[in-house]
């Protein structure tokens, strides 16, 4: 068998297709995509570098992403698949082998990095931000800084040093994928690095500034108490699903937490952690037995203490799921939470529970009887809420 002669030249380096695709995406965003955005927002033409101006301003960046979604047709020739045909689904691969969702994630991370570099630049002056925030947003950001300063050790506070930007970005970048996270970047930046690292994917559960402020308000003590109560695996689960539950776990203590977990976790799944976000709810739950809690489990992450106490007081345990299921179905999620959630409507909760208790149910099949009769009760409320509350 003949052997080919070698030329002595070094073999060509393998082509990194993923790197090439990434470069193509960045080039397209900085070039034709930015040009289309400027066409739609002529005022951007006044900036020397429109792309950099947008990516460095989280409010403007978020607005431009929404503009892309709203005016998709203006960009459609750039959003094509391997066959050259337009791609309309955000989760379908494009010619660059990435989806629109993935590309938006890249843009979100670029915006975060730009914000961090600006936020912790040596000459940064936080009292003179280049873009004015809305008064309510600025007030909440100031409040968040005070919460962090008061409840977390000074050693964990962000320091105004260039390396802080890199550390912040490293802690959060893997968890930034969604456009709704862009307006939250300044709030994430005020959380201690140690907490951000601890949160991991839990960052994606904090969908508004108020939730981030609540997390800062929890304090290091509650987080450490939760870690003592939970195993490492369960602690990680809680942080990934609902980090605000740490306060509730610390409030419960190990013995009560173990009882509650064994009583309802299998029925609730991930909703168990949402249940633990409010201590007033947990205080009411502590007073109940496992049998009643099992019947309440499907809605324990929504209902408040008045509802828990009222239902257990007025209803037989086997009728509890009927009441909750019919109520949520007839009222809808929003109205159900408004009446039976936190803080809820104490008067209406009492009325609904008392009226349900007053029914003379078929002793042979009370479940079916109540299932058939309850819709009329909630329909009466929906027809005229004001008259219902007056007892008319």
**206 and 317 housed in the same domain:** no
**315 and 374 housed in the same domain:** yes
**241 and 352 housed in the same domain:** no
Residue finishing a domain among 252, 276, 300? 276
Residue finishing a domain among 253, 276, 299? 276
Q: What is the pLDDT of residue 140?
A: 83
Task: Please report the DSSP string for 187-231 in residue order.
Answer: HHTTS-HHHHHHHGGGGGG--SHHHHHHHHHHHHHHHHHHHHHS-
With residues binned 3-state (H G I as helix, E B as strand, rest as coil), the percentages for the chain, rounded to 5, are: 70, 0, 25
* Cα–Cα distance measured from residue 362 to residue 346, given in angstroms and rounded to the nearest whole number: 29
**333 and 389 housed in the same domain:** yes
Phi, psi of 137 (to 5 degrees): -70, -40
Tell whether 103 is covered by a domain: no
Q: How many residues does the chain have?
A: 392
Q: What is the distance of C-alpha 180 from the center of its chain? A: 9
Q: Contacts from 184-188 at CB under 8 Å and sequence distance 24+?
A: 184/208, 184/209, 184/212, 185/58, 185/111, 185/112, 185/115, 186/58, 186/115, 186/119, 186/133, 186/141, 187/140, 187/141, 187/144, 187/212, 187/213, 188/212
Write out pLDDT tens, residues 319-337. Answer: 999 999 999 999 999 999 9
Cα dihedral: 127, 133, 139, 142 (round 10): -40
Percent of the chain residues topping a pLDDT of 70:
89
Contact, 243 vs 199, CB < 8 A? yes
Contact, 235 vs 226, CB < 8 A? yes
* Cα–Cα distance measured from residue 275 to residue 264, given in angstroms and rounded to the nearest whole number: 11
Ranges in the chain, pLDDT < 70? 1-15, 123-136, 138, 150-162, 392
The number of domains in the chain is 3
Residues of the domain holding 284: 278-392
Residue finishing a domain among 48, 70, 98? 98
**367 and 329 housed in the same domain:** yes
**266 and 300 housed in the same domain:** no
Q: What is the pLDDT of residue 155?
A: 60
Q: Three-class SS of residue 32?
A: helix
* Distance set, CA 330 to CA 165, 325, 336, 359, 381 (Å): 50, 9, 9, 19, 10
For the chain, state the CA radius of gyration.
Answer: 27
Write out pLDDT tens, residues 187-245. Answer: 999 888 888 888 888 888 888 999 898 888 887 889 999 999 999 999 999 999 999 99
**301 and 256 housed in the same domain:** no
Contact, 382 vs 331, CB < 8 A? yes
**246 and 257 housed in the same domain:** yes
* Cα–Cα distance measured from residue 331 to residue 381, given in angstroms and rounded to the nearest whole number: 9
Q: What is the pLDDT of residue 171?
A: 92
**149 and 265 housed in the same domain:** yes
Q: What is the pLDDT of residue 1?
A: 37
**251 and 186 housed in the same domain:** yes
Tell whether 128 is covered by a domain: no
Tell whether 13 is covered by a domain: no
Contact, 112 vs 173, CB < 8 A? yes
- pLDDT, mean over the chain: 89
Contact, 175 vs 201, CB < 8 A? yes
**267 and 317 housed in the same domain:** no
Phi, psi of 280 (to 5 degrees): -65, -35
Q: What is the pLDDT of residue 205?
A: 81
DSSP summary character for residue 155: G
Tell whether 77 is covered by a domain: yes
* Distance set, CA 233 to CA 123, 174, 215, 288 (Å): 42, 20, 20, 28
**351 and 255 housed in the same domain:** no
């Amino acid at each position: 068998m003949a052997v080919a002669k070698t030329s002595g030249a070094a073999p060509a380096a393998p082509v990194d297709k993923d790197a090439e695709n990434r470069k193509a995406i960045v080039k397209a965003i900085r070039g034709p995509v930015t040009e289309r955005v400027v066409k739609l927002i002529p005022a951007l033409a006044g900036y020397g570098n429109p792309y950099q101006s947008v990516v460095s301003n989280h409010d403007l960046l978020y607005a431009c992403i929404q503009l892309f979604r709203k005016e998709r047709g203006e960009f459609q020739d750039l959003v094509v698949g391997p066959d050259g045909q337009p791609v309309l689904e955000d989760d379908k691969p494009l010619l660059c082998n990435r989806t629109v969702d993935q590309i938006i994630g890249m843009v979100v991370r670029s915006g975060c990095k730009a914000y961090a570099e600006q936020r912790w630049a040596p000459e940064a002056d936080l009292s003179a931000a280049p873009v004015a925030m809305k008064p309510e947003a600025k007030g909440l950001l100031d409040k968040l800084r005070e919460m962090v300063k008061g409840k977390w050790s000074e050693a964990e506070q962000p320091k105004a040093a260039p390396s802080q930007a890199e550390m912040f970005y490293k802690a959060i970048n893997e968890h930034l994928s969604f456009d709704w996270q862009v307006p939250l970047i300044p709030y994430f930046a005020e959380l201690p690095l140690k907490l951000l690292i601890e949160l991991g994917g839990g960052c994606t559960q904090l969908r508004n500034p108020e939730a981030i402020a609540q997390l800062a308000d929890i304090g290091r003590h509650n987080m450490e108490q939760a870690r003592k109560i939970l195993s490492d695996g369960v602690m990680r689960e809680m942080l990934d699903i609902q980090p605000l539950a740490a306060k509730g776990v610390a409030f419960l203590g190990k013995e009560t937490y173990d009882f509650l977990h064994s009583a309802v976790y299998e029925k609730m799944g991930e909703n168990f952690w949402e249940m633990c976000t409010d201590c007033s709810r947990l205080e009411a739950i502590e007073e109940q037995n496992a049998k009643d809690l099992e019947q309440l489990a499907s809605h324990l992450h929504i209902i408040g203490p008045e509802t828990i106490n009222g239902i257990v007081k007025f209803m037989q345990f086997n009728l509890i799921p009927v009441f909750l299921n019919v109520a949520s179905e007839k009222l809808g999620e929003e109205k159900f939470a408004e009446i039976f959630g936190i803080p809820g409507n104490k008067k209406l909760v009492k009325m609904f529970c008392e009226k349900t208790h007053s029914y003379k149910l078929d002793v042979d099949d009370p479940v079916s009887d109540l299932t058939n009769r309850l819709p009329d009760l909630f329909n009466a409320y929906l027809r005229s809420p004001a008259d219902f509350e007056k007892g008319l």
